[in-house]
Amino acid sequence: MSSYLCAIGTANPPHRIPQTQIADFMAQALELDERGARKLHALYRVSGIGHRYSVLPDYARVNGEFEFFPNTPGLEPFPSVGRRMAEYRRFALPLSVEAVQACLAQLPEVELRSITHLITVSCTGMYAPGLDIELVGALGLPGHVQRTCVNFMGCYAAINGLKLANAFCRATPGARVLVVCTELCTLHFQKSQEDDHLISNALFGDGAAAVLVQSEPAANRPSLNLTAFHCDLEPDGHADMAWHINDFGFEMTLSSYVPRMIQQGIGQLTQRLLADLPVELADIRAFAIHPGGRKILESIEQALGLSTHDNRYAYQVLREYGNMSSATVLFVLRDLLADLTAADAGAPVLSFAFGPGLTLEAMLLTVAVANQENIPDVAEVRSAMEVLSEVR
């Protein structure tokens, strides 16, 4: 049995805020002096991010008139975890539903009652009965749909969701799995001048992505066969990327050493993923890399010999949305999938995501077109890539 990623739908909150405007908010909220504000604006300028989305309108405002943060000097009393989780519960469901609707609109042959499994993924909010159960009611899914929650794993968690979907499809003939990643990162702004918090405040945004995975390719569009997965840990980075629940929200540790550690580990991760497959790195021309930040993308390019054009989908998502934790790599795959045609059948796609641990996740996907042989041997892969390079 095989599994195929057939469609991806995405959704973002209505507040699309320029990065420069968020920097203004942060400088005021952190009560920075003129020198500190200049340094902060410089950090935001080199981030590679043009806009981010938030469920909170406050980041587009200065000098008060806030809806979530207190309209007081220093934003005191600073919102508690309970206050933030109330906002998560308020906004997560409608955003998730919008992403699911965008996904299934691409597959008119798929009825909601045919969904056999629902996987929800999030690290920015939790409650019970949770988002999974609320989605069953809001979408009208059958009550017996099998539900699984992937919580608090961070930016790489979408790949874990896809691993589960792959296992369900391989184990159950006719399985149709809906994977929904919803992250409201901007609820967790930390009022701190520590470098880790300054960096994370400059990167993260809100968004949701929904994916349909089933045991056969889509009838009317290219799909992505979930061909192989590999995970590795970089123990030296255990303290450099972390995610903790504290009194005033979830606190991200994101050290400036992370890009260097990813650069050191990404080559070995790729070798191990491809070791038992009839594909080599040189055969791959399509990449879907989680844009954890501009420096991370640049470090991977240096380690694997990639160009910025190879990484264009990741840069595009980073520029338009920032880092939306687990949902981000699915936005990258969305853009890549939209560019595929029947001529790409058999082409390999390499995808990476990273998170606390330091965890390095990799997956190989293969472009599949209905009624064609979808998992080629190495000669077929190389032949397809030669044709594609001539055409492009």
* 329-364 pLDDT tens trace: 999 999 999 999 999 999 999 999 998 878 889 999
The pTM for the full model equals: 0.91
State the pLDDT at residue 39.
95
The reply to whether 374 falls in a domain is yes
Can you give the CATH number for the domain in which 229 is found?
A: 3.40.47.10
The reply to whether 100 falls in a domain is no
State the pLDDT at residue 245.
79
Find out whether 215 and 208 touch, Cβ atoms under 8 Å: no
State the pLDDT at residue 243.
63
DSSP per-residue codes, 180-207: EEEEEGGGG-----SHHHHHHHHHB-EE
State the pLDDT at residue 200.
86
Give the pLDDT confidence of 89-126 residue by residue, as tens digits.
999 999 999 999 999 999 999 999 999 999 999 999 99
State the pLDDT at residue 242.
63
- Structurally, the chain folds into a number of domains equal to 1
The reply to whether 172 falls in a domain is no
The reply to whether 367 falls in a domain is yes
Give the pLDDT confidence of 130-182 residue by residue, as tens digits.
999 999 999 999 999 999 999 999 999 999 999 999 999 999 999 999 999 99
The reply to whether 359 falls in a domain is yes
Cis preceding linkage at 108, omega within 30: no
The reply to whether 292 falls in a domain is yes
Residue 217's identity, in one-letter code, is P
Catalytic residues: 155
* 102: CB partners within 8 A, 6+ apart: 9, 10, 11, 210
Q: First CA to last CA across the chain, in angstroms?
A: 33
Statement: residue 388 has pLDDT above 70: no
Mean pLDDT of the chain: 90
Q: How confident is the model at residue 241 (pLDDT cuts 50, 70, 90)?
A: low
State the pLDDT at residue 335.
98
Statement: residue 380 has pLDDT above 90: no
Domain of 258 in residue numbering reads as 223-391
- Quick one: which of 164, 168, 162 has its CA closest to 209? 162
Rounded Cα distance, 45 and 96, in Å: 30
Give the pLDDT confidence of 195-206 residue by residue, as tens digits.
888 888 999 999
The reply to whether 206 falls in a domain is no
The reply to whether 379 falls in a domain is yes
